[in-house]
Amino acid sequence: MRLIAVAAVLALGGCSADTALLSDQGDIRARWEAQNIYPNNYKGDLLAYLRTYLNNPDHVRSTGLAAPQLKKIGPADRYVACVRFDARNTDGVYKGVKEGAAVYVLARLDQFIDQPKVVREICKDADYAPFPELEALRR
């Protein structure tokens, strides 16, 4: 009889642990989702970042920018703006069009993803528009 009582207590304890885990995951997801605020200044934030990211920000060409959309990043969605450009290296030679994904948290640029395989997946359905502000960028 004691063995049955102990088994029942352990089984009930396991259920409450599972419920607590699900509750914690729900709380994490809710906090994550609460940080999704549309980045109205996404172009400005991205230009400021690219000025330091690019080895030679002068005379960037073949630019494109897709407005931020909610994309699956981490445990839930984040606003992501996809960008493409052809920038010169430190020797002044154009190296071909590259793509990147700017991830926004609380309406601010939080992360820039530049791994081609990852960016290709994130930006596969991006609707690029001209990005003349990036072409006009200078040091």
In three state form, how does the secondary structure of 94-127 look? ECCCEEEEEEEECCEEEEEECCHHHHHHHCCCCC
- SS3 of residue 32 by DSSP: helix
Give the DSSP letter of residue 54.
Answer: S
Per-residue model confidence as pLDDT tens digits over 106-136 = 999 999 999 999 999 999 999 999 999 999 9
pLDDT digits (tens, 9 = 90+) for 59-94: 999 999 999 999 998 878 999 999 999 999 888 899
Its pTM stands at 0.79
CA distance 8 to 3: 9
Sign of CA dihedral 112, 113, 116, 119: negative
